[in-house]
Amino acid sequence: MCGIIGVVSKNNQITETVISSLKRLEYRGYDSSGIAIEENGNILVVKDKGSVDHVLGGIDTTKTSGHIGIGHTRWATHGIPSKINAHPHTDCTGRIAVAHNGIIENFLELRKHLEEKGHRLVSQTDTEVIPHLIEELNNEGMTVEHAFKEALRRCKGSYGVVMIAQDSLHEMICARRESPIVIGVGKNETYCASDITAFLPYTNKVIFLRDGEMAILRPDNVLIERIEDSTVVPQRISTITWNPQMAQKSGFPHFMLKEIHEQPYALRNTLRISNNLIEPFARRINDAGKVILTAAGTSNHASIIGKYMFTHIAQLYCQSVISSEFADIGLNTISDKDVVVAVSQSGETADTLDATKRAKEKGAGILSITNVVGSSITRVSDNVICTQAGPEIGVAATKTFIVQVATLSLLSLELAKLRGTLDYSEIQSMKRSLLDTPRQIESVVKTQEATAIRIAEKYYSKPSFLFLGRGISTATAMEGALKLKEISYTHAEGYPAGESKHGPISLVEPGFPVVFIAPPDETYERLIGNIMEMKAREASIISVCGQADEKIEKLSDDFIEIPGNIPAEFSPIPYVVPLQLFAYYTAVKRGYDPDKPRNLAKSVTVK
Ligand code: M6R
């Protein structure tokens, strides 16, 4: 939630860099935007409710002269989206400016203390206490640097935070606890941000700040310290292999569409993950007492698919628990014999991180699958597999879902080998099918995109949809429904088809759209029964089925064909693609921006 950027440079025109970096962070929140930049030795703040373009688009960046600045794009938690609540926030004098991502839990107590000391706080945010606390400690005689550190020691909760101060405009200071901060080391320019993509066009040399660390950034050097005891921490510069084009639209109207089209590439790269990573990960799962997969949102749907694959392919019983429910469902039974497999595209989702931390406290092994090298989840994990989707900017997860499922597929086959549930030739045959999925997706997009557009144009004004599947396709149906509802604001429910008669069927009246995920697997005949039930109630049937499946096609008002054969266990990989396209084109047809759905953020770092 919220995106932060900071730039300090020997160059004196950083405003353009701050604003364009901020635009690359908008997927983290976009209800308000703001910057604080140096201007003739002062700090100038421009902020308001609205997107970066709306709030900052009018600034003539060629006429600004500062060499240090910070920026923020907001996803509101405390206080409505408004000018006064937009970041950066300043102290009473306007000499200290702070941008923050996270939640200061004891802000009411701190605010009361500061107001008693005569500070004037003007917003409803938790963040505003930080600059005032720094001001107060600075007034008591501490240097700004020391005051920043001491202020954070007094804050409870989470933060990725960056500050600039008028008395030391040669440096900016940032810190993190439970909210990400990455430092970029450029030539005569240093950056800090919530995410690498913010500064990727300028440098691929990064330092992942760890919880409890702060950094003093100057154009040509970085000093990292522990907040708690001021111990200096040695630098750990990594080189990122993502390139700046990966974080741009490359001619597509939206990131989401670009990312759907990139899926074959993302999948190929992920299927190349070395067995040196897959094998020990699978071995930890195999040796465990209980295995619990945990994740949120789309990653939760990948986890459900993982559970199905582990059970079917490797005959390994496991559970999948939504991470925000983990403390209430999964935790009590966990011991040091068990493992928790956390699945998170960003590696920063607070609910999923919390689940791993709690499980770790109980001694469980923590294994994670994430798309972001160096993300918080990697640091609490014993084994990590990094999927190879490249940066995903669209708020709706698409290519990262596909690569999560691919990774879980590789793990299932490795588990089958370890447990002897499939013989060598069966494993090789399934592996060949898996390796063919990138080509299959290419073919789905090439041959079925036009059909997805036509179906979206036909049904876009329908207020409600049911998505139904059986077995592994239930999770595909849930993912199709989530995609549709989150970007097109159309009510949609993903349900096990067999369960629909126990309630959801009462929604159905003539013309009510029901989407069936109908691969030719062992559930096929039973699913046809469900289609008949819906047809009997004059629902409009939209099916995603195998190629030339005349039976399903006859029963459907509209259908999308998936070319080629795929083992049932891997069917979510190609079958989800038309659902992503359908959601995308429905959102566009309804006039919404699919990259920035209202009330959502790419990375949800609050619990
Ligand atoms: O980064 P994560 O995979 O942990 O994120 C989990 C969810 O927040 C995420 O999948 C969310 O549901 C997306 N909006 C789905 O498109």
**What does the pLDDT read at residue 242?**
82
Helix H, strand E, coil C: the string for 45-112 is EEEEECCHHHHHCCCCHHHCCCCEEEEEEECCCCCCCCCCCCCCEECCCCCEEEEEEEEECCHHHHHH
Position 2 confidence tier, pLDDT thresholds 50, 70, 90: confident
**What does the pLDDT read at residue 223?**
97
Ligand 1 atom 11 nearest Cα: 297
Q: Which helix (H) or strand (E) holds 493?
A: strand 491-496
Return the best residue to mutate from 349, 376, 385, 395 for the ligand 1 pocket (most ligand atoms within 8 A of CB): 349
* pLDDT tens, residue by residue, 122-175: 999 999 999 999 999 999 999 999 999 999 999 999 899 999 999 999 999 999
**What does the pLDDT read at residue 143?**
96
Told to judge if 2 belongs to the known catalytic residues of this protein, a careful annotator would answer: yes
Return the best residue to mutate from 407, 486, 604 for the ligand 1 pocket (most ligand atoms within 8 A of CB): 604
Ligand 1 atom 9 nearest Cα: 297
Q: What one-character DSSP code corresponds to residue 528?
A: H
**Catalytic annotation, pick one of 258, 399, 596, 602:** 602
- Dihedral through CA 480, CA 485, CA 490, CA 496, nearest 10? 50
479 lines ligand 1 (CB under 6 A): no
Q: Which atom of ligand 1 is nearest to the CA of 345?
A: 3
List, in order of start, the domains of the chain with CATH numbers: 3-248 (3.60.20.10), 252-435 (3.40.50.10490), 439-602 (3.40.50.10490)
Going from the Cα of 203 to the center of ligand 1, the distance in angstroms, rounded, reads 27
User: What is the SS3 assignment for 255?
Assistant: helix
Please check the confidence at residue 27 and state whether its pLDDT lies above 90. Answer: no
Please check the confidence at residue 46 and state whether its pLDDT lies above 70. Answer: yes
Return the best residue to mutate from 194, 256, 300, 346 for the ligand 1 pocket (most ligand atoms within 8 A of CB): 346
Beta-bridged to residue 206, according to DSSP, are 184, 238
Ligand 1 atom 12 nearest Cα: 297
Please check the confidence at residue 258 and state whether its pLDDT lies above 70. Answer: yes
Q: How far is CA 209 from CA 26, 186, 200, 230, in A?
A: 21, 16, 17, 15
The proportion of the chain whose per-residue pLDDT surpasses 90, expressed as a percent, equals: 86
Q: Which atom of ligand 1 is nearest to the CA of 351?
A: 4
Ligand 1 atom 7 nearest Cα: 297
**What does the pLDDT read at residue 247?**
74
- The least confident of 238-242, 518-522, 526-530 is 238-242
- Mean pLDDT over residues 312-340, rounded? 94
Helix H, strand E, coil C: the string for 54-68 is HHHCCCCHHHCCCCE
When computed from its CA atoms, the radius of gyration of the chain, rounded to whole angstroms, is: 25
Quote the pTM value: 0.82
Ligand 1 atom 16 nearest Cα: 396
Beta-bridged to residue 172, according to DSSP, are 217
294 lines ligand 1 (CB under 6 A): no
Q: Contact at 8 Å (CB) between 190 and 219?
A: yes
Position 329 confidence tier, pLDDT thresholds 50, 70, 90: confident
Torsions phi, psi of 398, nearest 5?
A: -130, -75
324 lines ligand 1 (CB under 6 A): no
Amino acid at 3: G
**Catalytic annotation, pick one of 2, 155, 174, 386:** 2
Q: How far is CA 229 from CA 4, 137, 171, 214, 225, in A?
A: 25, 17, 21, 11, 8
Going from the Cα of 96 to the center of ligand 1, the distance in angstroms, rounded, reads 34
* pLDDT tens, residue by residue, 174-186: 999 988 899 999 9
Going from the Cα of 487 to the center of ligand 1, the distance in angstroms, rounded, reads 13
- Mean pLDDT over residues 365-388, rounded? 93
Beta-bridged to residue 367, according to DSSP, are 341, 383
356 lines ligand 1 (CB under 6 A): no
515 lines ligand 1 (CB under 6 A): no
Q: How far is CA 300 from CA 371, 383, 409, in A?
A: 15, 19, 15
* pLDDT tens, residue by residue, 261-275: 999 999 999 999 989
- The least confident of 309-323, 365-379, 508-522, 580-594 is 365-379
**What does the pLDDT read at residue 405?**
98
**What does the pLDDT read at residue 465?**
98
- Residues 6 or more apart in contact with residue 117 via CB below 8 angstroms: 136
Told to judge if 318 belongs to the known catalytic residues of this protein, a careful annotator would answer: no
User: What is the SS3 assignment for 556?
Assistant: coil
Copy the structure tokens of residue 551.
Answer: 């039976």
**What does the pLDDT read at residue 402?**
98
Position 330 confidence tier, pLDDT thresholds 50, 70, 90: confident
Position 1 confidence tier, pLDDT thresholds 50, 70, 90: low
Cα(288)–Cα(366) distance, integer angstroms? 11
Cα(384)–Cα(391) distance, integer angstroms? 18
- Mean pLDDT over residues 4-31, rounded? 91
* pLDDT tens, residue by residue, 426-464: 999 999 999 999 999 999 999 999 999 999 999 999 999
- The least confident of 53-62, 214-223, 310-319 is 53-62
CA pseudo-torsion sign 47, 48, 49, 53? negative
Return the best residue to mutate from 194, 298, 387, 579 for the ligand 1 pocket (most ligand atoms within 8 A of CB): 298
